[in-house]
Amino acid sequence: MIRFGLRLALAGGREAATRFVVIAAAVALGVGLLVTTLAGINAVHAQNARYAWLNSGATATADPSTPDPLWWLLRADYLHGRTIGRVDVAGTGPSSPVPPGIPRLPGPGEYYASPALAELLATTPANQLGDRFPGEQVGLVGSAALPAPNSLVVVVGHATEELSRQAGAVRVGSILTTPPDKCGGNCFIGIPSAGMDLILAVVAGALLFPVLMFIGTATRLSAARREQRYAAMRLVGATPRQVTVIAAVEATVSAIVGTAAGFALFAAFRGPVAGIPFTGAPFFPADLSLRPVDVLLVAIGVPVAAALAARLALRRVHISPLGLSRRVTPRPPRAYRLIPLIAGIAELAWFVGRRPDTSTGQIQAFLSGFLVIMVGLVLAGPWLTMMGARLMARRTGRPATLIAARRLADNPQAGFRAVSGLVLALFVTSVAVGVIGTIVPNRTAPADGTAASRLLLLFRPEPLRTSGPPPAELATIPGVEGVAVAYAPPDSLAPPPGEGLGPRPFALASCAELARTPSFGTCVPGAEVGWVYPDLAEYADLAGPATPEPDRPVWPAAPVTADRLDELPRLSVVVATDGSSAAIERARTVLETEYPVVFLPYTDAEWNADFARVLNGWKQLATVVVLASLAIAGFSLTVSVVGGLTDRKRPFSTLRLTGVPLAVLRRVVALESATPLLAAAVVATGTGFLAAHLFLTAQMQYSVRPPGFAYYLIVLAGLVVAFGTIASTLPLLRRITGPETARSE
C-alpha cells in the first residue's frame, strides 16, 4: 500500500503532479513562517542574554574579600538621538574581571569601541564625539558584548585612583551573566521579564495559530477529489486500513518535501528577517537560529499533522463509501458555535477592574482571552457564513447568487475555511492597531517644543559643584543661543505655589542670565532671582507641543539676591541651541569633558528615547504581526480557492454541459468567497477593537482610540488583495470545466 500511495502521489498524472507541487509549496511557505517565528523567539532570548554584562554594576558591589575587583561606572551617552552605552572601568589587579567582547581591560587613556561606534568616530568631527573619550581606541568590542549589530558601546579605561573617586562608580567582583528577564527585577538594561513575556505571548498567539491553520489548509488541498477516489477504492473492496495508509502516504510525502523546502526558505531569508528591529534593535543573523528540539518538532510534527489531517478527512469514507460518493450534505452549523467567541470577550471584560498583580498573571489572563476569541472566530465563522448565505438567497433572484447561496448553505464550513486566515488576520490587525495606536499617543512625550533642542546637565546625585561658571567655550559654539545655571535653594526658603505653571518650580536662576536667552523666559519686573524648573522649560512645553510663537514663561520672583547664587549648590546647567545636531553634539562634548558626572547631558527628546524605543519596538512588532498575518492569510486564501476549484470542477463541468454560461460560474465562485469573507470580516474587525478596548481598560485605564488612515488603508489593501486573489483564479474555470471533466471515474 505504501508503494501504491507513492505511485498515486508522484506518478498519478498531471493532476496528481499539480496537486503535489501546490501542496508542497503551500506547506513550504507555512513551515518557513513557522520556523522563522520559532527562530525569532530564540533570537529574542539570545539578544537579551547579551545585555546581561551591562547590568554588572546594578546588582551589588563586590565583596571585600574578592581579589582584584573591578571599578565600574555605566552611563548613557547620546549622539544624534542614538544612545551610546558607556562603561568606564579600572582594574585593581591582574585578576580583575574583563567584560565580554574585549581581550583585556583598557588602561588609562585607552578605550574599545563597538564597530558601529568606531565607524561614527571615524566620520564624526572629534569635537562632536571623539573628544568625550580620553586617549586612543585600541580595539573593537566583539559581538559577544553587543545586543545588536548596530549597538553603540564603548569601554573606557581609567586609573583606579581616578575612577574610584567618581560619583556613582561601584566595585564589581564578577561580570553578570544572568539575562535581564531572570535577574529578579534588579537589572534595568535589556528586556525585562514582563517585556519578554509580552513579546513571546504576542508572537505565539498572533502568528503560530494562523500558521498552523495555514499548514492544515494546505494539507487538505483537493480533499474532496481524493475522498471520492478513496470511496471508489472502498467500493471495489479496499479495507479502511488500506485506504488510510494510501491517504497518509499521499499527504505525508507532499508535506515532507514542503517541510524541507520550508527550512530552505528560512535559511535563504534569515538575513533580511534578522534586520527587523521588533524588539527595538535588529538581530545578528546567527541569533535567528533553531534549537535541535525546534527542528525535530517541525520536521516530524508537520508530516505527522498532514497524515492525521488525511486520516480525519476519511471519516465519512470509513462510515459509508456510498454516502460519500453521493455527497451527503453535512449538518448545518448551530448557533452554539458563538459560545467560545462570547466566552473570550467575557473573559477580557471580567478583568476590567480585576487586573492580576503579577506580569505572569496578566499575560496568562489576557493571552488566554485573545486565544479563546481567535478560536471562537474560527468556530463561529461557518455559522456566520450560513446566515449570510441565507440572507443573500432571500434578497436576490439572480442565478449566480442563488447557486452560490445554496452551495454555501449546504457546506458553510468549506466556504469559511477558504477565508479563515484572512479573518484571523483582520482580528490581529484590529487588536494591534487598537492597542498600539492608543498607547503611543498616551505615553509618548512630544518631540518638538523648546525643550527638545536644549541640553540639560543634572548634578544630582553627584557632589554638587559650587564654584566656577560654565565653560566660556560653550558660548562660542555656532548654534548655541544661551547658557544658564539653576541652583538648589536653601532649605529655609519655601518654593512658591505652582499656579499657572503646573507643579511649582523648585530651583533658582539669575534673572539677568535668563534675559539673555529668550527661550528661557523672563522674571517678573524688578526681580533679581526667579523661581524656575531645573530644565528652564515652560510647563506647557512638557504637556504638549509648542505653538509656532509660544508665550515664554514669566518666572515668579524669589527672595534671594543675585550675589548669593554662587554660594548655592548647582542643580543643572542648561544650554539652549538652535536644534542643529552639530551644535548639540559640540556642546555635549564640552559639558562631558568639564563635568564627568553620572547623568550625562541630554535633551528632552533623548531622555524619552528609551521609552520611545520600546514603543517603536511595539510598533515594529505590531507591523511584523500585521504583515505576517496578512501574508499568511493571502497564501491560505490562494490555496483554498485553488483547491476549491479543483474539488468542484466536476459539478461545474456538469453545469456548463447543462447550458450555464461561464460568466455565471465565475460570479458563483466570487460570491462563494466574498460572502463568508465580508460576513466574518465585519465581526472580526469589530471584535478586535472591542478586545483591544477591554484590554486597554483593564491594563492601563485607557479607552481605545479610533484608528488612523493607515489602518483603513491596510484593511482595504488586504481586501483588495483577497478579491484580486479570487479574481486571478477565475480564468482556471475555462480550463478545468471542459466536457471531458464531467466523466465518472
Q: Which of 52, 153, 142 is CA-nearest to residue 103? A: 142
Give the structural domain span for 170: 55-182
Q: Are residues 561 and 575 in the same domain?
A: yes
Q: In which residue are the cell numbers 506580569 written?
A: 359
Whether the predicted pLDDT of 432 surpasses 70: yes
Does the pLDDT value for residue 170 go beyond 80?
A: yes
Question: At which of 125, 155, 182 does a domain end?
Answer: 182
Mean pLDDT of 148-170: 91
Does residue 569 fall inside a structural domain? yes
CA-to-CA distance for 253 and 654, rounded, in angstroms?
32
Looking at the fold, whether 32 and 108 belong to one and the same domain comes out as no
Distance between CA atoms of residues 562 and 280, nearest Å = 47
In terms of phi and psi (left: phi > 0; alpha: psi -120 to 50; beta: otherwise), the region of 121 is: alpha
Q: What are phi and psi of 744, to 5 degrees?
A: -95, 140
Q: Determine phi and psi for 704, rounding to 5 degrees.
A: -60, 140
Q: Exposed (0-12), middle (13-18) or buried (19+): which is 335, by Cβ within 10 Å?
A: exposed
Whether residue 101 is predicted with pLDDT greater than 80 in this model: the reply is yes
> Going by C-beta distance under 8 Å and a sequence separation of 6 or more, which residues neighbour residue 493?
558, 559, 560
Q: Which of 82-91, 203-212, 465-474, 665-674 has the lowest mean pLDDT?
A: 203-212
Kindly state whether residues 289 and 320 are assigned to the same domain.
yes
Please, which residues have CB within 8 angstroms of residue 476's CB and are 6 or more apart in sequence?
none
pLDDT tens digits, residue range 278-333?
777 889 999 999 999 989 988 998 888 877 776 665 555 554 555 444 555 567 88
Q: What number of other Cβ atoms are within 10 A of residue 723's Cβ?
A: 15
Is the pLDDT confidence value at 411 over 50?
Answer: yes
Q: What percent of the chain has pLDDT over 90?
A: 22
Q: What is the pLDDT of residues 33-55, one digit of tens each?
A: 888 888 888 888 888 889 999 98
Residue 22 corresponds to which cell in the numbers above?
501546490
Which of these three, 328, 344, 379, is where a domain ends? Answer: 328
Residues 282 and 414 placed together within one structural domain of the fold: no
Q: Looking at the structure, do residues 398 and 534 belong to the same domain, yes or no?
A: no
- Is 136 among the domain residues? yes
Looking at the structure, do residues 61 and 165 belong to the same domain, yes or no? yes
- 321/397 same-domain check: no
Structural domain contains residue 197: yes
CA atoms within 13 A on the CB side of 650: 12
Which amino acid appears at position 150 of this protein? N
The pLDDT of residue 313 is 59
pLDDT at 657 over 60: yes
Give the count of domains, the chain.
Answer: 4
The model's pLDDT over 496-545, given as tens digits with 9 standing for 90+, comes to: 776 555 567 788 999 999 999 888 888 989 999 999 988 887 654 433 34
What is the structure's pLDDT at 745? 47
Among residues 59, 97, 90, 95, the alpha carbon closest in space to that of 73 is found at 90
Are residues 462 and 601 located together in one domain of the fold? yes
Distance CA 404, CA 137 (A): 73
Residue 478 has what pLDDT?
Answer: 93
CA 632 and chain centroid, separation = 17
Among 103-112, 507-516, 538-547, 708-717, the range scoring the smallest mean pLDDT is 538-547
Q: Is 6 within a domain?
A: no
Last residue of a domain, one of 277, 302, 328: 328
Assigned domain for 4 exists: no
Looking at the structure, do residues 456 and 601 belong to the same domain, yes or no? Answer: yes
Alpha helix (H) residue ranges in 277-320: 292-313, 315-319
If pLDDT is split at 50, 70 and 90, which confidence band does 273 have?
confident
**Average pLDDT over the chain, rounded to an integer:** 79
- Residue 587, pLDDT score: 94
Decide which of 542 and 146 is more confident.
Answer: 146
Is there a single domain that holds both residue 698 and residue 721?
Answer: yes
Whether 129 and 120 have beta carbons less than 8 Å apart is answered as: yes
